[in-house]
């Protein structure tokens, strides 16, 4: 047990993971075991659980911890998680995007929010790490330069209320860098009109139906991820016409503490279909210390890779 965290708190962290495992009959895996250990060490972190839905299949072994106002011990705990995951049999974590982004010794000291997440499915186990810098434009510009020139991206960035950088490390050695943009007042002009102009027809009403709307870009991926927190998730998810998604929502809405994230690969939206998506539910909000921002501080992006 990490110094400073009580046994009761460690048990509480694991409780929410175990509840999601029970809801979806998730089998144990080495990556999930390590994440559960990290959850037991982690103090004052909030938790999300997630399911990916694709072609009628539900992939539920997806978990997410995040924290604002970090302590030095939090960075040490994250580093230890990476070390332990990197030591798993067959694991080949590729840190090149992280190493290229964190180039100065004091970069980590400027991080003001962090998330750690996993997708523990057996065919593509993945560890994800994301950071925020309180809007510091130097880090935003560094991320944009690494992602390369994308049509319309700088206009989207100028309109965004917040942004966050994330790194996705598959255990088979594949890796990517991501930048997520969040629009808090997406239902107001001029945000609504400009966002609609960037979206496929099937999604153009979504900004005005959202508490938070977002776009994510990823290295090696020509299209965005589109994500939102719908104001009326029951109606929104029902309107998708996706039976598997409705089944996930029916199971999870009774245990969630706020409306879910819903994420879509833009390339499927361009085709006019919502058969591929991810649903992410906040199950625990830690409100100790300084108050969280509006919507429980959920300017953070969803954990999901939805392709």
Query: Taking the alpha carbons of 88, 89, 94, 99 in that order, is the dihedral positive or negative?
Result: positive
With CA atoms as reference, report the closest residue to 219 among 287, 166, 292, 290. Answer: 166
CA–CA distance, 260 with 187 (Å, rounded to integer): 18
- Look at residue 188 in the predicted model and tell me its pLDDT: 67
Quick one: average pLDDT of 197-208?
94
Place of tokens 């139906």: 209
pLDDT of residue 3: 42
Give the pLDDT mean for 265-270. Answer: 96
Report the C-alpha gap between 125 and 172 in whole angstroms.
8
Averaged pLDDT for residues 280-288: 79
Query: Are 281 and 252 contacting, i.e. CB atoms less than 8 angstroms apart?
Result: yes
Strand 126-132 and strand 261-265: pairing? unpaired
Burial, 121: exposed, middle or buried (Cβ in 10 Å; 0-12, 13-18, 19+)?
Answer: middle
pLDDT category, 129, cuts 50, 70, 90? very high
The model carries a pTM of 0.88
Instruction: Answer whether 300's CB lies under 8 Å from 132's CB.
Output: yes
Strand-pair partners of 217: 179
Query: In this model, does residue 299 exceed pLDDT 70?
Result: no
Across the chain, mean pLDDT equals: 87
According to the model, what pLDDT value does residue 285 have? Answer: 79
Question: How far is Cα 180 from Cα 266, in angstroms, rounded to an integer?
Answer: 14
Predicted confidence band of residue 109 (pLDDT cuts 50, 70, 90): confident
- In the chain, DSSP finds a helix count (H) and a strand count (E) of 11, 10
* Positive/negative CA dihedral, 299, 210, 213, 185: negative
Print burial letters for 31-58: b (CB count within 10 Å at least 16), e (below 16): bbebbbbbbbbbbbbbbbbbbbbbeeee
The phi and psi torsions of 285 (rounded to 5 degrees) equal -115, 120
pLDDT over 90 at 230, yes or no? yes
**pLDDT at position 251:** 94
The answer, yes or no, to whether residue 293 has pLDDT greater than 80, is no
Length of the chain: 307
CB 179: neighbour CB atoms within 10 A?
Answer: 24
């Amino acid at each position: 047990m990490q110094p400073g965290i009580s046994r009761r708190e460690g048990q509480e962290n694991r409780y929410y993971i175990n509840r999601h495992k029970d809801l979806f009959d998730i089998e144990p895996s080495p990556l999930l075991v390590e994440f559960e250990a990290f959850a037991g060490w982690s103090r004052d972190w909030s938790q999300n659980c997630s399911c990916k839905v694709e072609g009628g299949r539900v992939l539920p072994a997806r978990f997410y911890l995040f924290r604002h106002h970090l302590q030095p011990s939090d960075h040490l705990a994250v580093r230890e998680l990476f070390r332990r995951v990197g030591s798993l049999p067959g694991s080949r974590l590729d840190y090149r995007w992280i190493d290229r982004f964190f180039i100065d010794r004091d970069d980590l000291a400027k991080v003001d929010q962090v998330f750690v997440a996993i997708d523990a499915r057996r065919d593509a186990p993945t560890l994800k790490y994301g950071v925020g810098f309180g809007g510091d434009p130097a880090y935003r510009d560094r991320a944009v330069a690494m992602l390369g020139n994308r049509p319309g991206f700088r206009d989207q960035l100028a309109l965004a209320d917040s942004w966050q950088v994330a790194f996705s490390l598959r255990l088979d050695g594949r890796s990517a860098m991501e930048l997520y943009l969040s629009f808090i007042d997406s239902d107001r002009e001029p945000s609504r009109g400009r966002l609609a102009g960037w979206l496929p027809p099937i999604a153009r009403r979504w900004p005005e139906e959202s508490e938070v709307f977002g776009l994510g870009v990823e290295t090696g991926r020509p299209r965005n991820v589109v994500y939102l927190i719908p104001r009326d998730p029951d109606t929104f998810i029902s309107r998708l016409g996706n039976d598997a998604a409705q089944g996930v929502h029916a199971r999870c809405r009774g245990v969630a503490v706020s409306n879910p994230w819903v994420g879509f690969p833009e390339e499927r939206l361009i085709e006019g279909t919502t058969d591929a998506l991810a649903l992410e539910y906040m199950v625990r909000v830690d409100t100790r210390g300084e108050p969280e921002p509006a919507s429980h501080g959920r300017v953070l992006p969803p954990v999901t890779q939805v392709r």
